[in-house]
Chains A and B, each alone.
Chain A
Amino acid sequence: MALVVVNDLHKSFGDLEVLKGIDLEIEAGEVVSIIGRSGSGKSTFLRCLNQLEHHDWGTIHLADQRLDGGAMSPGELSQNVGMVFQSFNLFPHKTVIENVMLAPVVVKQTPRAEARQVAEQMLDKVGMLEKIDAYPGQLSGGQQQRVAIARALAMQPKVLLCDEVTSALDPELVGEVLHVLESLAAEGMTLILVTHEMKFARDVSHRVVFMHHGHIHEAGDPQTLFTQPKTSELSQFIASIL
């Protein structure tokens, strides 16, 4: 049984139907990249997976447990699904270590000493251990995004969602964040990434999903998908970004 099972997911904003029936299964340890034009529903899909948006129809299961429709409390959700945003969203008034410790201490009620240990471990993983007492405002975008990844990991989720996590970065800072994601993938972390980094999608992901107008239009292993697109929409999309 797959780790994540999405069944016939529908979501509308008013009259605008953004997700028109998404079916997707993701295995534990799999890295899935979602690509597609702006407005095709990629972010909305990710946001349904951690219930930042509530979908109108369909089900989401994680490790055989129902995740949607209020089946999980926000606290449980955050320990199953972590999310990293395009704009980092670190808490500006908290230091790096405080950002990472907050949810484990407040939501999970982990004792502070233990939470600190976990936080340091995660910050080590993203190479931010030396900046533990810095405030987000003193860090570069790439550093902030790495801390945001550590913050999500500190809840020890089973899946990590990344929504265009390098799009807000200066080009020279993209590499350090992709490098962190690559090492997470190598460790066996289940990753679902919306990305415009096609080289990364091709080299690191096990599967690429092309979304178009609220559907999964085409999906498959990266090599085949990029070199032999079956649909004209995908070939046009690939041509447009190269």
Chain B
Amino acid sequence: MTLDFSTLLPYLDEILEGLVTTVWLTVATTFVGIALAIVVAYVRDGAPGIASSLLGAYVEVTRNTPFIVQLFFLFFGLPALGVPISATVAALLAMVLNLGAYTAEILRAGIDSTARGQHEAARALGLSRLQSFRHVVLVPAFSRVYPSLISQCIIVMLGSAVVSQISVFDLTYAANFIQSRNFRGFEVYLVVTLIYLLLAVGLRLGFEFVGRRLFAFRQGGSS
């Protein structure tokens, strides 16, 4: 077999379109998913109640079912219930809900390990629970679980390949599309694999860049 990457050239536009979709889905999911996780972790950290139980159920259901089933449920299930939803919105929603549940659980570990003295100092200074969570608890909690958070975001980025199953034109969809036209499976998937690899590395580097700024207090510090 001879490799001939020039067979991909006519499909550069498709690769680019798929790449753009995968990247924006990942970036949007990262921001919205982490925001969701913060809200979920805050509510679940509080007194038990209906909201806390419902969010607990959401986290457990999401973490104990396959991502592709969640995606199909949103894309095929919601319209059946009378809620029309486009493939792209279903993909974004599924990814956000997935990352939100896992990150909420990761974040909870970080919140739980907050020293009691931090809560007491915040209370003695008159901070409410929400103020204390926001200004005292959150950043150190994130800093403690940051490596797990990065891994989780990469997992979700790689898992986004599944959205090609509902015809979202992402990188994997582009690969399948090209392969079905030029029958050059090896070249296509080799290139796409490399692109995913680069995306994963890029995502990690981006996170580490942000982390160095956000968690500057950890450098040369003891606590």
Q: Do A and B come from one complex?
A: yes
Binding site for B on A (CB under 8 A): 50, 52, 73-79, 82-83, 85, 87-95, 102-103, 106-108, 135-138, 148, 151-152, 155
10 A-B pairs within 8 Å (CB atoms) are namely: A78-B125, A91-B135, A92-B140, A93-B139, A94-B217, A106-B135, A137-B217, A137-B218, A138-B221, A152-B125
**131-166 of chain B: CB within 8 A of chain A:** 131, 135-136, 139-140, 143
Taking the nearest CB of chain A, how far is it from the CB of B38, in angstroms?
16
- Chain A residues, Cβ within 8 Å of B115: 89
Residues of A within 8 A of B126 (CB): 73-79, 103, 107-108, 155
Write out the residue numbers on chain A whose beta carbons fall within 8 Å of the beta carbon of B125.
Answer: 78, 102-103, 107, 151-152, 155
Smallest distance from the beta carbon of B63 to chain A beta carbons, Å?
29
**C-alpha spacing A78/B128, complex, angstroms:** 11
Q: Kindly report which residue of chain A lies nearest to residue B140, judged by CB atoms.
A: A93
In the complex with contacts A103-B125, A107-B125, A151-B125, A93-B143 CB distance below 8 A: yes
Bound Cα distance from A125 to B111, whole angstroms: 34
Give B186-223 as 1s and 0s: 1 = Cβ < 8 Å from A's Cβ atoms: 00000000000000000000000000000111101111
Please measure, in the bound complex, the distance between the C-alpha atom of A78 and the C-alpha atom of B131, giving whole angstroms.
14
A82–B124 touching, CB < 8 Å:
yes
B127 at the interface (CB under 8 A from A): yes
Of all chain B residues, the one with the shortest Cβ separation from A91 is B136
Looking at the assembled complex, report how far the CB atom of A9 sits from the nearest CB atom of chain B, in whole angstroms: 18
Q: Chain B contacts of A135 at CB under 8 A?
A: 216-217, 221
Which residues, 108 to 130 on B, are CB-close (under 8 Å) to A?
115, 117-118, 120-121, 123-128
A87 to B126, CA, bound (A): 19
Find out whether the CB atom of A152 lies under 8 angstroms from the CB atom of B124. Answer: yes
Contact across chains for B120 and A89 when beta carbons are under 8 A apart: yes
Cβ of B135: which chain A residues have Cβ within 8 Å of it?
A: 91, 102, 106
Query: In the complex, A102 Cα to B218 Cα: how many Å?
Result: 19
Q: How far is the CA of A137 from the CA of B221 in the complex (A)?
A: 4
- The answer to whether residues A85 and B120 also contact, given A103-B125, A103-B127, A107-B125 and a CB cut-off of 8 A, is yes
Of A75, A79, A89, the residue contacting B121 (CB under 8 A) is: A89
Assembled-state Cα–Cα distance A89/B131 (Å): 17
How many angstroms between the C-alpha atoms of A88 and B223 in the bound complex? 12
Contact, CB under 8 Å: A50 / B217: no
Contacting pair B121 A91 (CB below 8 A): yes
What are the nearest 3 A-B pairs in CB distance? A137-B221, A78-B126, A89-B121
Chain A residue with minimal CB distance to B131?
Answer: A106
Partner of B221, one of A82, A91, A92, A106: A92
User: A52 near B124 (CB under 8 angstroms)?
Assistant: yes
Q: Is the CB of B140 within 8 A of A138?
A: no
The CA-CA distance from A167 to B125 in the complex, in Å, is 22
**Most chain B Cβ neighbours within 10 Å, of A75, A76, A103:** A103
B124/A83 in contact, CB under 8 A: yes
